[in-house]
Amino acid sequence: MFHLIWYILVGLIAGVIAKSVMHVHMTIFWTIVLGIIGSVIGGAVTHMFSRPANARFHPAGIIFSTLGAILLLFICYKLKIHFPKVGSF
């Protein structure tokens, strides 16, 4: 249960930083989804080059999660994929 809360929290932090850098407005749900997908991308890259010492957490986890989320937003921008905006009901 704690892992799920941890993924959501890290996803929220990485998503908020990424959407602030890329100047994108989206709902909190899509911000968390963006951060979690960014964590998967960032985690895949970091595990290819360096394994974590304790096999659980990588020291650069939040940094690469944020970079992965920024990369995802950049790809979505280039492919003209839009997320639902805040207040677009």
pLDDT in tens, 12-61: 899 999 999 998 888 889 888 999 898 888 878 877 877 666 656 655 67
Tokens of 76: 């979505």
The per-residue pLDDT for 55 is 59
Structural domain tally of the chain?
A: 1
Q: Is 86 domain-assigned?
A: no
pTM of structure: 0.80
Q: Match 């492919």 to its residue by tokens.
A: 79
Q: Is 67 domain-assigned?
A: yes
For residues 30 and 14, give the distance between their C-alpha atoms in angstroms, rounded to a whole number.
12
Q: Match 């899509």 to its residue by tokens.
A: 30
Q: Is 23 domain-assigned?
A: yes
Task: Write the CB contacts of 27 (distance below 8 Å, at least 6 apart in sequence).
Answer: 83, 84, 85, 86
Name the residue range of residue 31's domain.
2-78
The per-residue pLDDT for 88 is 52
The per-residue pLDDT for 79 is 92
Q: With cut-offs at 50, 70 and 90, classify the pLDDT of residue 10.
A: confident
Distance of CA 50 to the CA centre of its chain: 20
Q: Is 52 domain-assigned?
A: yes
The per-residue pLDDT for 89 is 53
Q: Is 45 domain-assigned?
A: yes
